[in-house]
Amino acid sequence: MKILFIGDIVGEPGRRAVKMLVPKLRDRHAPDFVIANGENSAGGNGITPRIAEELFSLGVDVITSGDHVWDQKEVLELLATEKRFLRPLNYPATVPGQGAGIFAVKNSGLKIAVLNAQGRTFMPPLDNPFLLAAEAVKHLRAQTKIIFVDFHAEATSEKIAFARFLDGQVSAVVGTHTHVQTADEQIFPGGTAYLSDAGFTGPHESVLGREIEPVIKRFLTAMPQRFEVAKNRVLLHGAVIEVDEATGQAVKIQRVAEAV
């Protein structure tokens, strides 16, 4: 089984990249299931029900998120009604939505679990993702051995430690949030595929997807600036993971970096 994961989609350019490139990636890699982090897909800040529906219509099966999940007030409706949209698992239990789910893989009879968790180092103070993920994985494995984890975190050390902690229990742990694709794709001894950061899908003639000059001005002056989504050199970043259906262990991971 092959999973295509699309790194953080940033604004309209990122959504356009999904529209233009996912068909090509389907032809090239033949993924059975597509997951995308969509927390920046609404103008670079959050996500709305309309944009989620757009991404689903473009072939995304599940949308994950992160610390910008709350940036659009309409997200509450999305969390209440759409099981294919996940927010980080380690928000308090009283928060709307879900951090994990089990989904049918079309035309295969297989099930895949997707789990979304958020780190705590240099990030908002949430519940411990290690403890909550370990407990969630126990329940998920009772229904399927194929488990994909989007770990939305800032610190590389926390990402690696989290993936090592889950090695052998999940099929893949791929990091998001920093928007810079790393070159450390590997399969750990227990069979868990790992990549510190999938990168981002959107305009790369930018600072992490934003117009360059306002970001520089912020660093020069420490004054507030409007960080508009940039426009040029649009790329889709992500990864393709191949998983043994019987064991749930990864057999291959490959980075994706495709230009519009």
Positions marked active-site: 68
DSSP state of 170: B
How far is Cα 57 from Cα 240, in angstroms, rounded to an integer? 20
Burial of 142 (0-12, 13-18, 19+ CB in 10 A): exposed
Tokens (6 digits) for 66: 């992160």
Question: Tokens 């789990």 sit at which residue?
Answer: 115
Distance CA 65, CA 69 (A): 6
CA distances from 19 to 27, 55, 153 (A): 14, 8, 27
